[in-house]
Amino acid sequence: PKGDELVLDLYSGVGMISLLIAPFVQHVTAIESDAIAVEDAKVNATEQSARNVEFICDDVGRSIGRVASADVVILDPPRKGCPADTLRRIAALRPKRIVYVSCNPATLARDLATLEQSGYTTHEIEPVDMFPQTFHVEVIARLSPLGTTE
């Protein structure tokens, strides 16, 4: 991060990623539909004195339409991935970077195809074995608008 980015953290849960990057960016807007997770995220933010993070309890697909802009979008959806219309709304924001964290490589592949049809290209995909000796794997993908290398 350069320090001036506006970050949109979707499916933010208890704010782990939001609070990790908050010291390095201008502002983080985190959206999560689970009210208990959002309350926990607010407590976590208070305990870490994070003043540049806003936690919103709402449906990601519905609330993304109210976001004016984002330089970076972080996605960490459930195993079923993101609805195609949500991905198209994200692409319409024209963020400089999308970071997609997935626990299901199959839905990640499907969602990356939708983002690529919406003008993004995938630059990196990194598997992370957080659950040794199981078939579960986390995968992180980095995308940017077609024609850029950011």
Name the residues annotated as catalytic: 103
| Residue recorded with tokens 């939708």 | 114
Q: Residue by residue, what is the 3-state secondary structure of 53-97?
A: EEEEECCHHHHHHHCCCCCEEEECCCCCCCCHHHHHHHHHCCCCE
Contact 144, 97 (CB under 8 A): yes
Rounded to a whole number, what is the largest CA-CA distance in the chain? 43
